[in-house]
Amino acid sequence: MADANQQLHGGIVAMAGSPTLSTVMDRTLARMRLVFYRMSDAPDFHSGYAEHNRDLVRMLRDGRREEAAAALRTYLDTAEAELLGHLDRWGR
């Protein structure tokens, strides 16, 4: 599930057509894999986002880019808060 999630986000960034942005995303995703590895206490973390991923793909396929961008901002804010909550429990 984590791999599919990262492929989706990498693909969204690749749609921008910027090699520099894709390189930054690749590095970010590599770091995130380390964080996700540490999240063994939350093995279902990614499954909670599968529906959101599906919705994002549908919006993009339908050409609803502004709606997808707004949904992605909310999605990323939520995921960040959840990840930081896990890190706080581990004592960062």
3-state secondary structure (DSSP) of residue 55 = helix
| pTM of the model as a whole | 0.77
- Are the CB atoms for 56 and 71 separated by under 8 Å? yes
Q: What is the mean pLDDT of residues 40-66?
A: 87
Give the type of residue at 75.
Y
Q: What is the mean pLDDT of residues 45-69?
A: 92
Helices (H) and strands (E) in the chain, counts: 4, 0
- Are the CB atoms for 73 and 65 separated by under 8 Å? no
Q: What is the mean pLDDT of residues 22-34?
A: 91
pLDDT at 90: 65
- Angle at which helices 2-14 and 19-38 pack, to 10 degrees? 160
